[in-house]
Structure 1
Amino acid sequence: MNKIGLHIGYWWGTGEEHDIFNMLELTHHAGLDVIEINPDWLMRMTESECREFTEKLDAYHMSATLNGGLTAENDIASDSASARSAGIEFCKRVLDKMPKLGLTVWSGCNYSEWLRCPDASQDAQEEKKRALGYCRDSMREIIKTAEAVGVDYCFEVLNRFEQFLFNTSSEAVAFAESVGSDRAKILLDSYHMNIEEDVSSAAIAYACAKRRLGHFHVGSSNRRIPGLVADDINWNNLARALNSSGYEGAIVMEPFVLTSAHNAKRTRVWRSLSSEADPSRLVADAFAGGQFLRKVLADNQ
């Protein structure tokens, strides 16, 4: 059965986000198999911290994945040649350090600036075409490093309010294929698919048939932990699609629920989705989410 994980963004705003080991401990207490960290944490960790972190992962029988992306200053799809150059070098540095933590999957908006919208003064479709060309050229250079270190580079398919280069499974698969490497894959997310796809299960099946689904995120229709309350996502259909398509990678929860999180404005958390729960309650909720996902996967084999 797929490993079930949790993005560290869930702990932002609790006061625990300043210590990667505290976040690992909380994720372990939630009974999860995978902790998903971001490039910021990866790049700031010392050699000794990397060794300690991997030792704790081994002791907990856990693994880690990487999720996170780029800014305007290092957008590899930017009109700015200097930004693209900075982004290429940044991505290579991240990839080169990933083996220090045994990381083999990098997903996220790692192909352009997160929350980038077309310039209002330009034709949006022309900018999209131009940006995709820049991005493809940049990725053809970056992907060589991903191949060398054994990392699947997964482009996250975001909704229209968070990115514009691609918003559906079929668009992202086409881009991944254009990069020209088996390591170029995509990340699908139940929250984003619920906004953009006609049929989420079909989007999963398509990406798997093309051998491009490298990572999978889950969140309820309002980005809470799956299974805590009834929502509009058909979890049985998603589980059947993942099982029948042969997806064997991790399934990582990416909830954003606290108004106190440092990224709350950027993720548009304008109201509490957890009653501003303390870490112990958040651990219990994450545990329940993990149990829900394991059950729904088992029930839909």
Structure 2
Amino acid sequence: MGQLGIHSFVWTGGQTQDDLERALEKTAEHGYRAIEFAYLRPELFDLDRLAQRAQALDVAIGVTMGLPADKDVSSEDPDRVAAGKAMLRDAVQAVRDIGGTKLGGILFSAHMKYDRHPTETGWKNSVEAIAETAEIAKAAGVDLVLEIVNRFESNLLNTTAQGLAFLDATGSDHARLHLDTFHMNIEEANPAAAIRLAGDRIGYFHIGESNRGYLGCGTIDFPLIFDALLEIDYQRDIVFESFSSAVVDGALSRACAIWRDTWTDSDPLAAHAKGFIERGLDEARRRRATTAQA
């Protein structure tokens, strides 16, 4: 496996430089080797200082984001598409400047609940935008990963099969899929089969529970997930994601419908998640070894 990481929203809403640096320190303190930040606006934060702190702590940085409605690259409005392309270009540059390794999230549409079906023109606009962004990311040394999310957060890519078809349409060898157990639990008939279907085209993986809280307290069958990740020999990052209205900033709370506190204390949540994932992978390895010997 790659690095085991944690989303910064476990620690902080990320409103200030000090918040982000404290999230880095807590991540390292708990033994995680990667952190995921929401989109970092260069005009609000000292990215050089943040990069230096991450390097000193030996914590890799990834960034995820969703496009706003006025920068929706899946729109039929050329001005919105152009604004979205510019935002994606700027985001790649910000990830590069912070020494980050990847840009992921809902990069192909707005992050919102749509009230309409996607259009053929909008789909083509999105494909073109991601193809262009993938080339920019490749030149910058930044991985580009597209998060497959549930129907209430995008109308374009809700299943792994849709994501694979979209990647094929871009013609890019640099863009990959960003899968998430929370979203897969809603949209996939068989999440483990979806992981196997995607195989080496998965570039990033989120572990999250069905209720966004403590791992193991919801409905997701994690042993099947871990088995599938080992079967495809997944070698990239696994990042724990959990949201609570006690921490998450207001805009993301509204976009993701985080209306309650799924937890209030970050430290035990982070410690539990790390142990849960490590044990789950170890148990999957033992099952695999037992099967091989039988």
Q: TM-score, normalised by structure 2?
A: 0.89
| Distance change (3 Å), C-alpha of 1:259 and 1:97 | closer
Q: Given that residues 223 and 256 in structure 1 are in contact (C-alpha distance below 8 angstroms), is that contact kept between their aligned partners in structure 2?
A: yes
Question: CA RMSD, aligned part only?
Answer: 2.1
Instruction: Give runs of aligned pairs for residues 151-300 of structure 1, distance below 5 A.
Output: 151-208=142-199, 211-227=200-216, 229=217, 231-259=218-246, 261=248, 262=250, 263-274=252-263, 277=264, 281-300=265-284
Amino acid at match of 1:6: I
Moved segments of 4+, more than 6 Å: 14-18
* Range moving further from structure 2, 193-202 or 33-42: 33-42
Aligned-residue offset at 1:15: 8.1
SS in 2 for 1:44: coil
Aligned-residue offset at 1:215: 0.5
Aligned residues: 283
| Distance change (3 Å), C-alpha of 1:173 and 1:43 | farther
Amino acid at match of 2:171: G
Amino acid at match of 2:206: H
Aligned-residue offset at 1:139: 2.0
Aligned-residue offset at 1:18: 6.2
| Distance change (3 Å), C-alpha of 1:165 and 1:43 | farther
Q: Which runs of 5+ in 2 are unaligned?
A: 286-294
Using the alignment, how far apart are the partners of 2:271 and 2:207 within structure 1? 14
Q: Given that residues 6 and 32 in structure 1 are in contact (C-alpha distance below 8 angstroms), is that contact kept between their aligned partners in structure 2?
A: yes
Q: Given that residues 14 and 260 in structure 1 are in contact (C-alpha distance below 8 angstroms), is that contact kept between their aligned partners in structure 2?
A: no
Aligned-residue offset at 1:295: 1.3
Using the alignment, how far apart are the partners of 2:69 and 2:15 within structure 1? 28
Alignment-derived partner of residue 22 in structure 1: 22
Aligned-residue offset at 1:175: 0.1
| Distance change (3 Å), C-alpha of 1:14 and 1:116 | closer
Instruction: Give runs of aligned pairs for residues 49-128 of structure 1, distance below 5 A.
Output: 49-50=47-48, 52-119=49-116, 124=117, 127-128=118-119
Q: Which runs of 5+ in 1 are unaligned?
A: none
Using the alignment, how far apart are the partners of 1:267 and 1:118 within structure 2? 16
Using the alignment, how far apart are the partners of 1:91 and 1:265 within structure 2? 22
2:138 to 143, 147, 150: 147
Using the alignment, how far apart are the partners of 1:201 and 1:177 within structure 2? 21
Q: Indicate the percent of aligned positions where both proteins have the same amino acid.
A: 28
